Structure 1
Amino acid sequence: MKKLLLIASFLIGGFTTAQAQQTSPVWPGCEDVEDVKACFNQKLSQHVRENYEYPQTEDGDYVRGKVKISFTITEEGKTVVNSVEGSKPKVNAAAKEMIQKIPDMEPGTLEGEPDDRNFTVPFNF
């Protein structure tokens, strides 16, 4: 009987863990859409197009490069840049500045409580 109770408690615990409710951060303007993740991605792409400013050399040439940006949407809905990896320091700085301009949003949740969400995104500028 003890073995049966032990097995049942593991199964119930497993089902409870498997049913953990997790939501994504909600970008302003995506509150009433059906697919919040798709809207988030669309808004992020739009944000990049509208807010990335290509750095220039002393000669006026635009500096281009690839970066990988890691950032967190905190449980307060704020964006924090964790790292920017790329071979061009000017592109890295411009990319970091652009990500820091992401608007505050409704944070993601875990079990109904606000929770940090980490993102890592590659960009070609």
Structure 2
Amino acid sequence: MRTISLIFLLVGALWLPSRAQQSHLDSGSTQNRPIFTVVEQQPEFPGGMNKLMQYFRTNLRYPEAARKARIQGRVFITFIVSEDGAIQQVRALKSVDPDLDAEAVRLVQSMPNWIPARQQGRSVACRYNLPVNFAL
């Protein structure tokens, strides 16, 4: 009886961490390529958040139609930072205006490679959400 209890305890100890890790995978994951949503070390823009904000200030082009219509807001962009830091599958998660959405997507797609996320000591693909503010 004691042996059976020990076996259940060991199986449970091995099963729970694997289930917990699976719950942090993106729905776009495959068996060959997991895409994490929660990682031990988040992906990072080269130089950190200050450099990311500088990149936005330098490269953001406010769409003329949105400027004339005085449209402002925050577009949330979702994308994958791949195992090698490349930006993939960029799309608007929360829309404000089609012109602002398109500019936010363009801005993120043109970013340099990031420092990839790390999980258990290795680089992994990770979904990342980023707000892009448009203010006149």
TM-score normalised over the length of structure 1: 0.68
Question: 1 CA distance for matches of 2:112 and 2:99?
Answer: 23
Change (3 A) 1:46 1:81: farther
Change (3 A) 1:88 1:23: same
Structure 1 residue matching 2:100: 3-state secondary structure: helix
Equivalent in the alignment of 1:92: 101
Change (3 A) 1:8 1:22: same
Structure 1 position 23 matched with structure 2 position 28: no
* Percent of residue pairs identical: 24
TM-score normalised over the length of structure 2: 0.63
The structure 2 residue matched to 1:56, chosen from 64, 83, 90, is 64
Aligned length: 112
Change (3 A) 1:54 1:62: farther
Deviation at residue 51 of structure 1 after TM alignment:
1.3
Answer yes or no: is the 8 Å Cα contact 1:81–1:96 preserved in 2: no
Deviation at residue 12 of structure 1 after TM alignment:
5.9
Aligned residue identity for 1:91: L
Structure 2: runs of 5+ lacking an equivalent = 21-38
The structure 1 residue matched to 2:91, chosen from 67, 83, 102, is 83
Deviation at residue 23 of structure 1 after TM alignment:
1.9
The structure 2 residue matched to 1:65, chosen from 72, 91, 95, is 72
Question: 1 CA distance for matches of 2:127 and 2:17?
Answer: 26
Aligned residue identity for 2:115: E
